[in-house]
Amino acid sequence: MENGQIRIQVKSLNLWYGEKQALENISLDILTNQVTALIGPSGCGKSTFLRALNRMNDLIENVRTEGEVLFEGINIYDKSVDAVELRKKVGMIFQKSNPFPKSIYENVAYGPKIYGIRDKKSLDEIVEKSLRQAALWDEVKDDLSKSGLSISGGQQQRLCIARALAVDPEVILMDEPASALDPIATSKIEELIFELKKQYTIVIVTHNMQQAARVSDYTAFFYMGELVEYDITRKIFTTPSIKHTEEYVTGRFG
């Protein structure tokens, strides 16, 4: 594996939903300014793993986690770590675009506002910058007061990306961000991912293997809660080391 700066280091992560173990002994390094794709069949643990990276699993009852997820050198599962603070730095985009039923402007300004930014001028700047970064500014700049729900599905997802960018995160987790979108909207999101990785570290869960191949630098293949293979995407899709991975990426099972 090529050398790069490690942004998140996962060490022997285990996770249980009640009695059922969902992640078994996962260790992997997520590299700065790279796109890491998590692939695998449904129920393989890839989404659970993603949500373990910003402690979104905390919201589910009966979840128990063991092992370490080191972010900026600190285990995010330490008692002293505030999940709220963590989530400011590790943002998330969901499968179903979920803009608030507010205006486009208010959607983007939501994060900065809850951090106490009140100054209208600063908010305006953040909103414009974030919408530009999400490649949405030109499409919505004239109706920022329109409801976030009134724009198309692809635009809504980019609005959600802008909203996440507005709080200036370091890592962006994406949970099948394009699975509900048509091919054109999907390729816009993919294009956006290429742009965003210059500034952010991106981890993306996708059911679409071709998408993983197109957008990612590294790919991790999960199966039954275990990490089967983790390597440079090119390697995974041309010469995987493990037969299981080969079978999955060639569509022979799963």
3-class DSSP state of 110: helix
The residue within the footprint of another protein, chosen from 190, 226, 246, 247 (CB under 8 A), is: 190
Alpha carbon distances (Å) from 36 to 58, 83, 94: 23, 22, 16
**Smallest separation (angstroms) from another protein to the CB of 59:** 7
The residue type of 247 is E
Cα separation, 231 vs 88, whole angstroms: 28
Residue numbers 14-53 binding another protein by CB under 8 A = none
Q: Is residue 129 involved in binding another protein (CB under 8 A)?
A: no
Q: Which of 5, 27, 96, 241 binds another protein (CB under 8 A)?
A: 96
CA-CA distance, 135 to 158, in Å (whole number)? 7
Report the alpha-carbon distance of residue 25 to residue 176 in Å, rounded.
23
Nearest partner of 24 among 6, 3, 48, judged by Cα:
48
Tell me if 100 contacts another protein by CB under 8 A: yes
What is the number of residues in the chain? 254
Contact region with another protein (CB under 8 A), list: 7-15, 16-24, 25-33, 110-118: 110-118
CA distance 185 to 74: 37
138 near another protein, judged by CB under 8 A: no
Stretch that binds another protein, among 35-43, 66-74, 131-139, 187-195 (CB under 8 A): 187-195
Q: If binding is defined by CB under 8 A, does position 151 make contact with another protein?
A: no
**Which residues lie below 8 Å from residue 137, measured CB to CB, with a gap of 6+?**
128, 131
Q: Is 115 in the site for another protein (CB under 8 A)?
A: yes
Considering only residues 4, 6, 28, 94, which one is a binding residue for another protein as defined by CB under 8 A?
94
- What is 46-105 written as a DSSP string? HHHHHHHTTTGGGGSTTEEEEEEEEETTEETTSTT--HHHHHHHEEEE-SS----SSBHH
Count, residues near another protein per rule CB under 8 A: 36
Q: Identify which range of 13-21, 37-45, 135-143, 188-196 contacts another protein by CB under 8 A.
A: 188-196
Q: Is 23 or 37 the residue whose CB approaches another protein more closely?
A: 37
Binding site for another protein (CB under 8 A): 54, 56, 59, 61, 84-85, 87-88, 91-92, 94, 96, 98-101, 110-111, 114-115, 160, 163-164, 167, 184, 187, 190-191, 194, 210, 213-214, 233-234, 237-238
